[in-house]
């Protein structure tokens, strides 16, 4: 795969997988514009982690509209626009909705999502970061925000499992699945270089990168 021809790249993964850090590194290496989730602009998020049942719907809809606003401009063909690297995949948005909303709430959410989805472009490449749940928990405890550190391990496990099931069937773009357990893209340039090399050598629409035990 020729990364120089990718106009829109997405890095995804559950909380603690390292998606924002990798997206930032990719944007810098590719001279691309970074596009990050903005949880600090969601007034319901902290309250969601305290009372999921009560605040799940406003939290989800706020993120949904926020992501559409961020991505809508990418759907316009502009040959002079710099590439974009995002740390969220719009197609993943319903995962959290299905995980946290009641059936009636999800039915409402799904109608809104279906109406907005045509405004959002498909990415040229998705990099999906995986890590075992204990690793995710340790990373969230070490560097997460105050409300993220309050997330129970059982909830993180459900989120990680939901991601796994989703990406097992995902075919919306070429997909590189990365085991991030032993990777440090920020502090180890060699790890980042290996990933870029692996992406550049992609020949199929779904490939895997695992550094292995010896690294």
Check residue 163 and give its pLDDT: 95
Check residue 214 and give its pLDDT: 36
Check residue 215 and give its pLDDT: 35
Does 215 reside within a domain?
no
Q: For residue 72, give its domain range.
A: 3-210
- Mean of all residue pLDDT scores within the chain: 90
Nearest to 12 by CA among 193, 154, 163: 163
| Residue percentage of the chain with pLDDT more than 90 | 71
- Residue 105 maps to which CATH number? 3.40.50.300
Question: Residue 92: is its pLDDT beyond 80?
Answer: yes
Does 98 reside within a domain?
yes
Q: Which two tokens stand for residue 99?
A: 């995980």
The DSSP result for 162-191, as a single string, is HHHHHHHH--SS-EEEEE-TT--TTT-HHH
Model-level pTM? Answer: 0.90
Does 16 reside within a domain?
yes
Tell me: the pLDDT tens digits for 130-163? 999 999 999 888 876 666 777 788 989 999 999 9
State mean pLDDT over 1-22: 91
């Amino acid at each position: 795969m020729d990364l120089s021809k990718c106009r829109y790249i997405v890095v995804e993964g559950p909380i603690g997988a390292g998606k924002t850090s990798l997206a930032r590194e990719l944007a810098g290496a590719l001279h691309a514009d970074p596009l990050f989730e903005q949880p600090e602009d969601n007034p319901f998020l902290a309250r969601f982690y305290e009372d999921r049942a009560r605040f799940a719907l406003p939290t989800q809809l706020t993120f949904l509209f926020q992501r559409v606003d961020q991505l809508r401009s990418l759907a316009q063909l502009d040959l002079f626009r710099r590439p974009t690297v995002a740390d969220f995949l719009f197609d993943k948005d319903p995962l959290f909705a299905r995980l946290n909303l009641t059936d009636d709430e999800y039915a409402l959410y799904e109608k809104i999502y279906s109406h907005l989805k045509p405004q959002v472009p498909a990415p040229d490449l998705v990099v999906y970061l995986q890590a075992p749940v204990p690793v995710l928990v340790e990373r969230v405890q070490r560097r997460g925000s105050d409300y993220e550190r309050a997330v129970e391990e059982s909830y993180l496990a459900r989120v990680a499992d939901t991601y796994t099931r989703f990406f097992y069937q995902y075919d919306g773009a070429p997909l590189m699945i990365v085991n991030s357990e032993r990777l440090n893209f920020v502090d180890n340039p060699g790890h980042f270089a290996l990933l870029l090399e692996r992406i550049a050598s992609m020949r199929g629409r779904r490939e895997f990168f695992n550094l292995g035990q010896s690294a």
